[in-house]
Structure 1
Amino acid sequence: MSRPLRRQDAPPIPVRELTAVSADGSRIHVELHGPEGAPAVLLAHGWTCNTHFWAAQIRDLAADHRVIAYDQRGHGGSPQGGVAGYSTNALADDLEAVLAATLAPGEKAVLAGHSMGGMTLMAASRRAGLREHAAAVLLCSTGSSRLLAESLVLPLRAGALRTRLTRAVLGARAPLGPVTPWSKKILRYATMGAGSAPERVDLCARIVHACPRRARVAWGNVLAELDIEAGVRELRAPTAVIAGTDDRLTPPVHARAVAAALPQGLGLTELTGIGHMTPVEAPEVVTAKIRELVAEYVAVAGMGKEEAA
């Protein structure tokens, strides 16, 4: 049995909630935190997660930022997908809908995405909405292609067998079941660094196990075929990349390739001993990077260097 949530683990309470309507009619749950008029930050979570995954960042940033967090379709408070179903185009559509619903025309924000959330930003790189609103981008623990071939979740030699078995894992229809000590061990092995604190493993397990099976399977199949390398080359906002050296789901080879292909890359930060869940495993580092991007690209862009000094 998993333990009750501690106060510091409980999801932050939003100032306001709203629904953004995507291109195919899908309804996307959006949460707003922090004061109106403050510099804006948008957070896009990854596969099998939800807005609660960003709890540490929201608590810190909402003191002096307007934080926008949303549930990817089929996750959290966002229902299953509409007629467009599940695809990288749907990810981009949903992001554009959230940006249009929460930011004024021309308003700039730092956009941060973890795992599939980072893929969302890369998939939307040529979209007018992203180009209008992205002052800077942070990509955490993500990749643009070859996810099956490079995955290290299964301790097998690279090759066709490992790729086929990894595909089967991503698309597995078996229910995850309740959070147990055994399931937390599996999740930590697959997604987190060996030294991850038990309370952080427990938090991630609660979030992942809450993901509806249909969405988990559908998005797993999308990730198995992912190829958005062209989107990386079109992501023209200043972009920083963070990766954990012990990430088995999207090993650092992905982050290095993305960082090398970005038109306005701000460099790659590799976190020693950290796994795939960087915003939870290394919350201070991720939050500090977001603050750094806001200070450099939102405040300066909005006020001018003389006023920001």
Structure 2
Amino acid sequence: MSIDVFESTREGAPTVLLSSGLGGAAGYWAPQLQSLRAQYRVITYDQAGTGRARRDLPEDYTIGAMADDVLAILDETKTRACHFVGHALGGLVGLDLARRTPERLTSLTIVNGWAAADEHTKRCFEARLLLLQHAGPAAYVRAQPIFLYPALWLAQNAERARQEDAHGLAHFQGEETLRRRIGALLRFDATAELASIKTPVLVMGARDDVLVPASKSEELAAGLPNARLHVTDYGAHAVNVTAPAAFNATLLDFLDQA
């Protein structure tokens, strides 16, 4: 496991642990680091099978296994409990921790996540896997921004998108790794346990997310007894990247209160 620990300038600062989505890379959270480090100790990591943590994953890989990796990170960094922030797949990891080891979470933030994937999201992942199978990694990486960013943002950031394409292809996690990670997130279902999760939760969504409908965030917040819902009109699936100032302000407000 590849872990990055950013100490805060504030002595004795509480810890925020950031968990990425399907891409898995710690670098996804770059737009949040400066804002968070002023008040918090921050931990980021490359998820197993991705980035600097490349390895083969078992065929029956689960969100629970990803959550176990987070517990190992907390132990390794001597972190009794953390504010956990998860994007999409990372949010599922946080839900699994909240239902199994709530004492390790001070709070939980879920960004464009779900309790159980709906048919639309399943269709999107099926299309992406078919593209990977029949057209290869370059086509898969080329299509990925369509699921992450608003059309307007992509049009205005064409050069950045091209750079991300090159980086994504150079650091591609591999077809089997992707299949097993997607399989894990599609099998995950925490619906029956939501009412028993007492951790303070911020559920963040975006109405222009083409991968995960905002209704999934609304359903998730409605099922959690101690949740706050924040849904934006703009930002799409990677809202923390496309609208970082507003995202950071909302996140910090929640963390300060939690």
Mark yes or no: TM-score above 0.5: yes
Instruction: Work out whether residues 110 and 293 of structure 1, in 8 Å CA contact, stay in contact via their aligned partners in 2.
Output: no
Who is 1:294 aligned against? 255
Q: Does 1:73 align with 2:48?
A: yes
1:140 to 99, 111, 119: 111
Task: State the SS of the aligned residue for 1:46.
Answer: coil
Cα distance change on mapping 1:271 and 1:202 into 2, 3 Å: farther
2:150 to 182, 186, 193: 193
Cα distance change on mapping 1:49 and 1:93 into 2, 3 Å: closer
Q: Which has the higher helix share?
A: 2
Instruction: Work out whether residues 191 and 277 of structure 1, in 8 Å CA contact, stay in contact via their aligned partners in 2.
Output: yes
Task: State the SS of the aligned residue for 1:125.
Answer: helix
Which AA in structure 1 matches 2:19? A
Deviations 1:241-300 (A, max 9, x none): 11111111111121111011012112x211113211111112122222332233212xxx
Q: Does 1:169 align with 2:128?
A: yes
Who is 1:109 aligned against? 82
Describe how 1:36-75 pairs up with structure 2 within 5 A: 37-75=12-50
Q: Which runs of 5+ in 1 are unaligned?
A: 1-27, 152-161, 298-309
Which AA in structure 1 matches 2:103? E
Q: Does 1:248 align with 2:200?
A: no
Distance 1:44 1:223 in 2: 14
Cα distance change on mapping 1:296 and 1:207 into 2, 3 Å: farther
Task: State the SS of the aligned residue for 2:177.
Answer: helix
Cα distance change on mapping 1:85 and 1:224 into 2, 3 Å: closer
- Give the Å deviation of 1:54: 0.0
TM-score by length of 2: 0.84
Distance 2:206 2:168 in 1: 19
Alignment RMSD (CA, Å): 2.7
Who is 2:66 aligned against? 91
2:234 to 265, 273, 285: 273
Distance 1:290 1:176 in 2: 34
- Give the Å deviation of 1:112: 0.4
Deviations 1:175-212 (A, max 9, x none): 422899xx2xx333222111214166456545644331
Task: State the SS of the aligned residue for 1:77.
Answer: helix
Distance 1:53 1:136 in 2: 21
Question: Aligned residues, how many?
Answer: 249
Instruction: Work out whether residues 145 and 229 of structure 1, in 8 Å CA contact, stay in contact via their aligned partners in 2.
Output: yes
Distance 1:255 1:263 in 2: 14
Deviations 1:18-37 (A, max 9, x none): xxxxxxxxxx2111013362
Q: Which runs of 5+ in 2 are unaligned?
A: none
Distance 2:236 2:58 in 1: 35
Distance 1:79 1:43 in 2: 19
Cα distance change on mapping 1:93 and 1:223 into 2, 3 Å: same
- Give the Å deviation of 1:56: 1.0
Who is 2:120 aligned against? 150
Deviations 1:103-146 (A, max 9, x none): 443xx421100010001111222223xx2231111110111213
Task: State the SS of the aligned residue for 1:124.
Answer: helix
Who is 1:306 aligned against? none
Q: Does 1:127 align with 2:103?
A: no
Instruction: Work out whether residues 86 and 110 of structure 2, in 8 Å CA contact, stay in contact via their aligned partners in 1.
Output: yes
The share of aligned pairs that are identical, in percent, is: 24
Distance 2:61 2:172 in 1: 15
Cα distance change on mapping 1:85 and 1:95 into 2, 3 Å: farther
